[in-house]
Amino acid sequence: MSEILLQIDGKDVKATETMTVLEAARSAGIHIPTLCHHEKLEPYGGCRLCTVEVETRGRARLVAACLFPVQPDLIVRTHTPEVDKLRKTIIELLMAHAPDSFELLDLAQEYGADRNRFDQESSFCLLCGLCVRYCNEVKQKNAIAFVDCGAKREINFIPEIASQECRDCKECFPLCPTSYLQAAYFLTEALAFPHESNAAHALTKK
């Protein structure tokens, strides 16, 4: 695999040709914030928090670092006033949905974001897709899916699958940047398969 030399924040970084800018930055110890990225999952490009400025042949533009492939002589800037302002706005928009997310509160502190800038529409799900994609790509169970579209888009557990697969798994729980996923699961469990869950609980207590 051929080696590519690029520059990130003024530092020469060696990468392999299959790497994204995010992977190259991380390999060099350079931090780029992410929300929807997970190293076990295919790049998704949903949150845009990883936006960086890249320059090729004297032309600069903003791209998602988790999607953008490395190129020879690429110049990457992970913090410019424009990049930081965009990240701050993204955090503020996300906080309108989940103002108490610890992950967002940390990011808000880092970028000076105001969690009250936008009207609250506390849906609590940030639509990062980590739960849906992890269940699909890693566990290959498809117990969680996106439903609806636009402003109504949300995640749902599929009761028929969740009742069989989720009780002993729950690997998606720690991936969620908010409390929504756990709440959605326990609501589904309570409404759709309470008997299975109570019976199993009784068995495990014996």
Q: Which residues bind ligand SF4 (CB under 6 A)?
A: 125-131, 155, 175-178, 180-181
- Whichever of 80 and 142 has its CB closer to ligand SF4, that residue is 142
| Residue 197 beta carbon to ligand SF4: minimum distance, rounded to whole angstroms | 20
Residue 75, sorted as left (phi over 0), alpha (psi -120 to 50) or beta, turns out to be beta
Distance CA 200, CA 206 (A): 10
How many contiguous H segments (helices) and E segments (strands) does the chain have?
7, 7
Binding partner of residue 104 among ligand FES, ligand SF4, none, CB under 5 to 8 Å per kind?
none
Binding partner of residue 69 among ligand FES, ligand SF4, none, CB under 5 to 8 Å per kind?
none
Per CB under 6 A, 101 contacts ligand FES? no
Binding partner of residue 162 among ligand SF4, ligand FES, none, CB under 5 to 8 Å per kind?
none
- Whichever of 68 and 185 has its CB closer to ligand SF4, that residue is 185
DSSP string across 167-186: TT--TTGGG-SSSHHHHHHH
- Work out the number of other CB atoms within 10 angstroms of the CB of residue 184: 20
CA angle 151, 180, 201 (to 5 degrees): 140
Applying CB under 6 A, among 27, 41, 45, 139 the residue interacting with ligand FES is: 45
Task: Please work out the total of residues on this chain that contact ligand FES, with binding judged by CB under 6 A.
Answer: 12
Per CB under 6 A, 64 contacts ligand FES? yes
Confirm if 74 and 55 have CB atoms less than 8 A apart.
yes
Per CB under 6 A, 69 contacts ligand FES? no
| Residue 112 beta carbon to ligand SF4: minimum distance, rounded to whole angstroms | 23
Confirm if 4 and 96 have CB atoms less than 8 A apart.
no
Query: Which residues of the chain form contacts with ligand FES (CB under 6 A)?
Result: 34-37, 45-50, 64, 66
